[in-house]
Amino acid sequence: MAKCSKCGTSNFHPRVSVNDNEILQRLRSSVGFTDQALTNQLLHDAEKDLDDYGTEIARLKTAISVLKRKREHLEGYVVNCRSLLSPIRRLPPEILSLIFLFRCRESGNNISLHQYNMTLPSIVLSQVCAGWRIVALDTSAIWSNLSFDFYQEPDLTCLNPSLLRSLIHLYLERSSQAPLDLSLFFIDHFDRDSDLGYAIFKTMLTPTSHRWRSLDLQYYYIEEDIEAIWSQITDLSGLEHLKIYGEPLDFLLRHTSPAFHQVTPRLQCLDLKLRSSPLDLSGTPWAQITTLRLSSNFHQQDQFGHSRLSQSFEI
């Protein structure tokens, strides 16, 4: 097929002019038809035209495909240009940092021995774009709100220990020296020599106890397990809020420090949800406590022998 010498495009001109009426007339009067040479020439030219049509169609399809790709590219470019005008891009980093902080405090960074329980909003925010990553890394407080579930479900495979330790190390490193708000969940007896959750608590979390601003502790262990947990904690000088769901506070005081009020000079809020009674609070540093919440889920029998749930109250 000939091409234009100037632009290089095909210069396609059909050889055969299709005349349906003429061919129909010849078909109706085929008896005695003798002009075979003319018909053979028409067929030869028509077959060449068919090849040229196929070539031209392929060329046009390629051109259309190229145009479609260019259009899609342009559409993406337009979307990106419009995103440059998005209102969130006009937010100062300080405001964006506060939004990040609100988001991470709303749900917290939940770290579990099993991947299906993980929610890590700080990680997600730092992976949106380069700008958000810079803000996220500069906002140490969004890395300091951590919840740890150390329960190892028997039917589920735990995360790789080295991966889990790397994740926790990442959070502790990015939190810098910001006060830590921790929630710790121990809900099963553990083997001190082999339990992954206890090992992480002992080697990675307790060295940061001087940075703990709030501690939410839930446990359902026997006495020796609770003693093993609390005996690792030696410095609670930054603790302001303490929430416990578990054993009586007098047991906690015995195994935390000989003088609980001396190692918690900033403690102001005490939230206790205990599983047994009576409650001995004689060792509590009352002079510095400004908020007290007490509740219990144990049952007592009243004078009529009826079981009732003990009352909760807040001061």
In order, the DSSP letters of 231-263 are TT----TT--EEEEEES-HHHHHHHH-SSHHHH
Could you give the strand order of the β-sheet that contains 180-186, starting from the edge strand earlier in sequence?
109-112, 145-149, 180-186, 212-219, 241-246, 269-274, 291-296, 313-314
Higher local confidence (pLDDT), 248 or 117 = 117
Predicted model pTM: 0.67
- State both tokens at 135: 């803000």
Mean pLDDT calculated for residue range 259-264: 57
The pLDDT, as a whole number, for residue 258 is 42
* Tens digit of each residue's pLDDT (9 = 90 or more) over 187-207: 665 555 557 777 888 888 888
Instruction: Tell the residue number behind the tokens 């992480």, with chain if given.
Output: 200
**Mean pLDDT (the chain, rounded):** 78
The pLDDT, as a whole number, for residue 259 is 39
Higher local confidence (pLDDT), 277 or 20 = 20
Q: Label residue 298 by pLDDT band (50, 70, 90).
A: low
Mean pLDDT calculated for residue range 270-299: 69
The pLDDT, as a whole number, for residue 6 is 58
Give the integer Cα–Cα distance in Å for 44 and 215. Answer: 92
Query: ∠182-187-189 over CA atoms, to 5°?
Result: 120
* Tens digit of each residue's pLDDT (9 = 90 or more) over 266-277: 888 888 776 655
Query: ∠230-233-237 over CA atoms, to 5°?
Result: 125
Is the predicted pLDDT of residue 93 greater than 90, yes or no?
yes
The pLDDT, as a whole number, for residue 5 is 55
Nearest to 249 by CA among 213, 212, 286, 214: 286
Give the integer Cα–Cα distance in Å for 48 and 139. Answer: 72
C-alpha dist (Å) from residue 299 to 142, 229, 251, 296, 307: 40, 27, 20, 9, 6
Is the predicted pLDDT of residue 235 greater than 70, yes or no?
yes
Is the predicted pLDDT of residue 304 greater than 70, yes or no?
no
Higher local confidence (pLDDT), 52 or 304 = 52
Helix axis angle for 249-256 and 223-230, nearest 10°, is 50
Q: With the C-alpha atoms ordered 49, 52, 57, 58, is the resulting torsion angle positive or negative? A: positive
Is the predicted pLDDT of residue 126 greater than 90, yes or no?
yes
Are the CB atoms for 33 and 23 separated by under 8 Å? no
The pLDDT, as a whole number, for residue 108 is 81
